[in-house]
């Protein structure tokens, strides 16, 4: 299939692997920021091929994983009101809240519907004027333009029964938090290709300079990932730390200006608690005051005063910050599986724990598969 | 109207004008409380299934043809010639009669095509909002062949695994036909009958055929998991051998699904003795429903995982249950 097969060619991948091994003189520690990259690395066996050559630490780039418990709990309250139809991407439904997941809320009578685009949620609002339709707006800079557009369409068409429960996050502030940490071991970042498609990578120049860390904009297919790793290793071996684009078929340095404009028009930067991370300064987006009528948190009086706490056994905070590998968690594949997850990273299609569970080596399977 | 299901004049009229005229045969038309069937030699096989697919009509099929082929295929892969079918309809009040007629004609056409006779049925109407348009239950009775395939407990190491067509077409066609998903595609469900190729296979292979299973909900992966459990073998497949059309692959990539987990409704997994592989493929290739059959893997002695898949560069990985969003109703 065009645009896929050429980036999955095993022979080309082997060549790149050989080149990475040849250039590497010591075991460097790289972080792939995005969970989609983590899944690619494990699905195609790149992680195990580079075992002992490069250490890959899995980053926090799983928007579903970092969505705060409070937001999930509030979404559940909305779904159970009766007059609200909560719409969401499918990924969000199995993520455990403090009591239950949205899927369980649905089984208990909550009104929840999976949509594939925020514009579908606007369409639902148009067709059901007696129902308050709320879209659970999670995601990085990649999904924010679409949710901003949804609000704009709703406003343009006079649809006043539509709102967003906004939990958008921004990736660069989280990378800064990681890089500043005294425990940081990451020596180079593979930046998330799809985020950079929107934001561009000019904002990374200052980051790379300040922390003296290479940043390589990297895609998601096996060859994309290997090229990203090779570029990072090449920089590290020659003592450089600059921003490099290895995903040029999708990313331009300035990004998508139209998407940036609409995000800026509707949203403003805010501090945001990330699940497992604590508050990330400037780590989120919220609707601007002039659009507050579309803000479900304001419309339905979301009460943020009650802090909720994750299951104490779950080490997702350590996983998301790259301090441990998912398999180092005592509960991995024991009390925590995708069917009965303790934390969000075991559920999401971008979660690191789910990636390790799904693509684990048969030798590591303890429960007999 | 609700009264159509209350057993009175309206019910009789619905049955006479709509249902009998579509399905008519002498057994059904006697309108007795129970169908009388002729005596038969040998063992019978019986199976039942309920169909709640949404939307009712999708590219390549509809709930009517699905309700026939689904049950026919369950008989076929068990080694039973499909003979009789019961059809129970649960109609949501307000279902347009033209929709009902279309489904009934599709049911009738599918029954004719598979040579199965509809001999009993029931119709209920439930209030609006209690059902989603139309639900169908079918029960099928078939005559078991003298030597049906022995089943997955007979699987042995070195046995070959075949899939009889490109996978994931039904699940993706239904998913893309849903109103919420504005994907333009030429996806067609594989919804179709498997009795003919199954019987050809049984004739040619005899005991060299281990087992067959239509890969419906849960897709090829679910069949392999069940077989691995029954046989205590490890089943190994290779991702690059799985037949997947560009349309299915594209839609799966977009939605983050793996075709190996996506439902089929006219495609089966077949396990045969190693030296019967060539014969099995040539039989399957001779029938239009299974002409794209290919080998996808084989059985081996039990290793740590039940089913493993070779993807990309690394060593084989356990094939897992699907993660992510649950699929909507597809059968």
Per-residue pLDDT of chain A (369 residues; tens, 9 = 90+): 666 778 888 889 999 999 999 999 999 999 999 999 998 999 888 998 999 999 999 988 888 888 988 899 999 999 999 999 999 988 888 888 888 899 999 999 999 998 888 999 999 999 999 999 999 999 999 999 999 999 999 999 999 999 999 999 999 999 999 999 998 999 999 999 999 999 999 999 999 999 999 999 999 999 999 999 999 999 999 999 999 999 999 999 999 999 999 999 999 999 998 887 888 999 999 999 999 999 999 999 887 555 556 778 889 888 888 888 999 999 999 999 888 888 888 887 778 998 888 887 655 544 333
**Chain A residue closest in CA terms to B251:** A1
- Domain stops at, among B121, B144, B167: B144
- B203 lies in the same domain as B94: no
HSE value, Cβ hemisphere, 13 Å, CA-based, for A148: 23
- B293 lies in the same domain as B197: yes
Q: Is the Cβ pair B305, A43 closer than 8 Å?
A: no
CB B104 within 8 Å of CB B68: no
Measured in angstroms, the CA of A280 and the nearest CA of chain B are apart by 27
- B198 lies in the same domain as B278: yes
Determine the angle formed by the axes of helices A35-43 and A222-237, rounding to 10 degrees.
100
Report the distance separating Cα B303 and Cα B317, nearest Å. 12
Q: Which residues on B lie below 8 Å from A361 (Cβ)?
A: 315, 317
Residues in chain B, total: 331
Helix (H) or strand (E) holding A195: helix A193-199
Report the distance separating Cα A48 and Cα A54, nearest Å. 10
- Cβ-proximal residues to A279 (8 Å cutoff; 6+ apart), any chain: A271, A272, A273
Portion 61-80 of A in contact with B at CB < 8 A: none
Q: Is the Cβ pair B249, A116 closer than 8 Å?
A: no
- Enclosing domain of residue B65: 2-144
- B272 lies in the same domain as B172: yes
HSE value, Cβ hemisphere, 13 Å, CA-based, for B237: 25
Beta partners for residue B135, in sequence order: B90
- B76 lies in the same domain as B187: no
Measured in angstroms, the CA of B185 and the nearest CA of chain A are apart by 15
Residues in chain A, total: 369
pLDDT less than 50: residues of chain B: 324-325
Q: Is the Cβ pair A49, B325 closer than 8 Å?
A: no
Portion 271-310 of B in contact with A at CB < 8 A: 303-308
Report the distance separating Cα B241 and Cα B112, nearest Å. 35
Measured in angstroms, the CA of A13 and the nearest CA of chain B are apart by 8
B98: in domain: yes
B233: in domain: yes
Q: What's the confidence (pLDDT) of residue B328?
A: 58
Q: Is the Cβ pair B311, A44 closer than 8 Å?
A: yes
pTM: 0.83
DSSP designation for A96: B
Measured in angstroms, the CA of B256 and the nearest CA of chain A are apart by 8
Q: Is A239 in the B-facing interface, judged by CB distances under 8 Å?
A: no
Of A113, A357, A361, the CB nearest to B315: A361
- B161 lies in the same domain as B220: yes
HSE value, Cβ hemisphere, 13 Å, CA-based, for B114: 39
Residue of A116, A223, A352 for testing the chain B interface, max B β-carbons within 10 Å = A116
Q: Which residues on B lie below 8 Å from A358 (Cβ)?
A: 317, 320, 323
Measured in angstroms, the CA of A222 and the nearest CA of chain B are apart by 8
CATH number of domain containing B12: 3.30.1330.10
Q: Is the Cβ pair B304, A1 closer than 8 Å?
A: no
- B104 lies in the same domain as B184: no
**Chain B residue closest in CA terms to A40:** B312
Q: Which residues on B lie below 8 Å from A368 (Cβ)?
A: 304-306
In chain B, the number of structural domains is 2
Measured in angstroms, the CA of B184 and the nearest CA of chain A are apart by 14
Q: How many helices (H) and strands (E) does chain B have?
A: 10, 13
Q: Is B129 in the A-facing interface, judged by CB distances under 8 Å?
A: no
- Domain stops at, among B80, B110, B144: B144
Backbone angles phi, psi at A300, to 5 degrees: -115, 20
Residue among A216, A282, A285 nearest A251 (CA): A216
Domain borders along chain A are 65-170+255-299
B286: in domain: yes
Count of CB atoms situated within 10 Å of the CB of B165: 24
Q: Which residues on A lie below 8 Å from B312 (Cβ)?
A: 8, 10, 13, 43-46, 222
Report the distance separating Cα A100 and Cα A94, nearest Å. 9
First to last CA, chain A: 31
Of B181, B313, B321, the CB nearest to A10: B313
Q: What's the confidence (pLDDT) of residue B20?
A: 78
Q: What's the confidence (pLDDT) of residue A286?
A: 96
Measured in angstroms, the CA of B309 and the nearest CA of chain A are apart by 10
Q: Which residues on A lie below 8 Å from B326 (Cβ)?
A: 90, 93, 103
Q: Is the Cβ pair B180, A120 closer than 8 Å?
A: yes
Determine the angle formed by the axes of helices A10-23 and A222-237, rounding to 10 degrees.
10
- B166 lies in the same domain as B30: no
Q: Is the Cβ pair A362, B303 closer than 8 Å?
A: yes
Distance set, CA A121 to CA A64, A302, B285 (Å): 19, 20, 45
Q: Is B259 in the A-facing interface, judged by CB distances under 8 Å?
A: no
Q: How many helices (H) and strands (E) does chain A have?
A: 16, 11
- Domain stops at, among B102, B125, B144: B144
Report the distance separating Cα B24 and Cα A182, nearest Å. 80
CB B150 within 8 Å of CB B156: no
CATH number of domain containing B194: 3.90.650.10
- Cβ-proximal residues to A93 (8 Å cutoff; 6+ apart), any chain: A101, A102, A103, A106, A112, A114, B325, B326
- B19 lies in the same domain as B51: yes
B80: in domain: yes
Measured in angstroms, the CA of A208 and the nearest CA of chain B are apart by 32
**Chain B residue closest in CA terms to A118:** B180
B27: in domain: yes
Q: Is B157 in the A-facing interface, judged by CB distances under 8 Å?
A: no
Angle at CA of residue B176, ends B173 and B179, nearest 5°? 130
- B130 lies in the same domain as B172: no
Distance set, CA A198 to CA A142, A168, A176 (Å): 6, 14, 19
| HEC secondary structure over B128-167 | ECCECCEEEEEEEEEEECCCCCCCHHHCCCCCEEEECCCC
Q: Is the Cβ pair B323, A358 closer than 8 Å?
A: yes
Contacts 24+ apart (CB under 8 A), A321-324: A321/A60, A321/A178, A321/A181, A321/A276, A321/A277, A322/A31, A322/A57, A322/A58, A322/A59, A322/A60, A322/A178, A322/A185, A322/A186, A323/A183
DSSP designation for A81: S
Q: Is the Cβ pair B304, A8 closer than 8 Å?
A: no
Of B304, B312, B316, the CB nearest to A44: B312
Burial profile A48-59: b = 16 or more Cβ within 10 angstroms, e = fewer: bbbeebbbbbbb
Q: Is B184 in the A-facing interface, judged by CB distances under 8 Å?
A: no
Interface predicted TM-score (ipTM) over 0.85: no
Q: Which residue in the block uniquely carries the two structure tokens 């601007």?
A: A288
B172: in domain: yes
- B165 lies in the same domain as B135: no
**Chain B residue closest in CA terms to A44:** B312
- B163 lies in the same domain as B124: no
DSSP designation for A331: T
Residue among B275, B270, B297 nearest B285 (CA): B270
Domain A65-170+255-299, second-level architecture: 3-Layer(aba) Sandwich (3.40)
Q: Helix, strand or coil for residue A207?
A: helix
Q: Is the Cβ pair A354, B323 closer than 8 Å?
A: yes
Measured in angstroms, the CA of A134 and the nearest CA of chain B are apart by 16
Beta partners for residue A83, in sequence order: none
Residue of B325, B327, B328 for testing the chain A interface, max A β-carbons within 10 Å = B325
Residue of B249, B323, B328 for testing the chain A interface, max A β-carbons within 10 Å = B323
């Amino acid at each position: 299939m065009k645009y896929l097969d050429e980036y999955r060619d095993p022979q080309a991948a082997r060549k790149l692997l050989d080149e990475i091994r040849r250039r590497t003189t010591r075991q460097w520690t790289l972080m792939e920021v995005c969970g989609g990259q983590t899944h690619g690395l494990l699905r195609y066996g790149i992680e195990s091929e580079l075992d002992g050559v490069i250490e890959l630490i899995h980053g926090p780039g799983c928007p579903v994983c970092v969505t705060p418990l409070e937001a999930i709990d509030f979404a559940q309250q909305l779904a159970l009101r009766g007059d609200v139809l909560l719409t969401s991407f499918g990924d969000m439904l199995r993520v455990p809240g403090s009591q239950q997941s949205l899927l369980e809320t649905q089984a208990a009578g909550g009104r929840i519907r999976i949509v594939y685009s925020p514009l579908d949620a606007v369409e639902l609002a148009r067709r059901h004027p007696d129902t308050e339709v709320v879209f659970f707006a999670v995601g990085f800079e990649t999904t924010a333009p679409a949710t901003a557009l949804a609000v704009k369409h709703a406003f343009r068409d006079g649809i006043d029964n539509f709102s967003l429960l906004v939990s958008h996050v921004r990736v660069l502030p989280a990378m800064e938090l990681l890089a500043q940490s005294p425990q940081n071991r990451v020596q180079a970042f593979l930046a998330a290709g799809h985020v950079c498609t929107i934001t561009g990578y000019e904002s990374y120049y200052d980051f790379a300079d300040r922390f003296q860390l290479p940043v390589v904009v990297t895609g998601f297919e096996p060859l994309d990932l290997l090229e990203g790793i090779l570029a990072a290793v090449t920089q590290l071996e020659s003592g450089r730390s600059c921003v490099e684009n290895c995903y040029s078929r999708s990313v331009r340095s300035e990004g998508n200006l139209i998407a940036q404009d609409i995000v800026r028009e509707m949203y403003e930067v805010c501090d945001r608690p990330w699940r497992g991370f604590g508050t990330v300064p400037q780590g989120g987006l919220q609707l601007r005051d002039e659009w507050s009528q579309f803000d479900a948190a304001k419309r339905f009086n979301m009460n943020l005063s009650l802090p909720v706490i994750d299951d104490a056994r779950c080490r997702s905070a350590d996983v998301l910050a790259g301090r441990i590998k998912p398999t180092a968690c005592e509960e991995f594949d024991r009390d925590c599986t995708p069917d009965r997850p303790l934390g969000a990273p075991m559920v999401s299609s971008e979660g690191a724990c789910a990636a390790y569970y799904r693509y684990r080596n048969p030798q590591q399977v303890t429960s007999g598969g | 109207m609700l009264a159509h299901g209350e057993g009175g004049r309206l019910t009789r009229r619905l049955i006479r004008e709509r249902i009998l005229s579509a399905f008519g045969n002498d057994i059904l038309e006697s309108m007795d409380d129970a169908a009388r069937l002729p005596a038969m030699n040998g063992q019978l096989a019986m199976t039942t299934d309920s169909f709640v697919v949404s939307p009712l009509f999708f590219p390549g099929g509809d709930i009517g043809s699905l309700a026939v082929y689904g049950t026919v295929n369950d008989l076929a892969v068990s080694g039973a010639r499909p003979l009789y079918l019961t059809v129970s309809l649960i109609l949501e009040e307000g279902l347009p009669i033209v929709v009902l007629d279309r489904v009934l004609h599709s049911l009738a056409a599918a029954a004719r095509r598979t040579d199965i006779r509809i001999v009993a049925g029931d119709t209920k109407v439930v209030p609006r909002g209690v059902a989603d348009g139309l639900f169908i239950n079918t029960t099928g009775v078939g005559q078991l062949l003298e030597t049906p395939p022995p089943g997955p407990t007979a699987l042995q190491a070195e046995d070959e695994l075949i899939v009889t067509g490109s996978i994931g077409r039904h699940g993706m066609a239904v998913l893309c036909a849903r109103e919420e998903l504005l994907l333009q595609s030429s996806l067609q469900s594989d919804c179709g009958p498997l009795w003919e190729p199954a019987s050809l296979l049984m004739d040619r292979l005899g005991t060299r055929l281990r087992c067959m299973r239509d890969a419906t909900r849960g897709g090829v992966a679910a069949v392999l998991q069940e077989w691995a459990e029954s046989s205590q073998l490890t089943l190994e497949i290779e991702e690059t051998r799985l037949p997947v059309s560009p349309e299915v692959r594209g839609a799966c990539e977009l939605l983050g699904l793996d075709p190996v987990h996506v439902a089929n409704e006219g495609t089966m997994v077949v396990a045969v003795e190693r030296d019967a592989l060539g014969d099995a493929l040539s039989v399957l290739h001779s029938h239009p429903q299974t002409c794209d059959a290919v080998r996808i893997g084989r059985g081996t002695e039990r290793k740590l995982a039940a089913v493993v898949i070779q993807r990309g560069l690394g060593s084989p990985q356990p094939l897992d249950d699907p993660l992510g969003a649950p699929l909507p109703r597809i059968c």
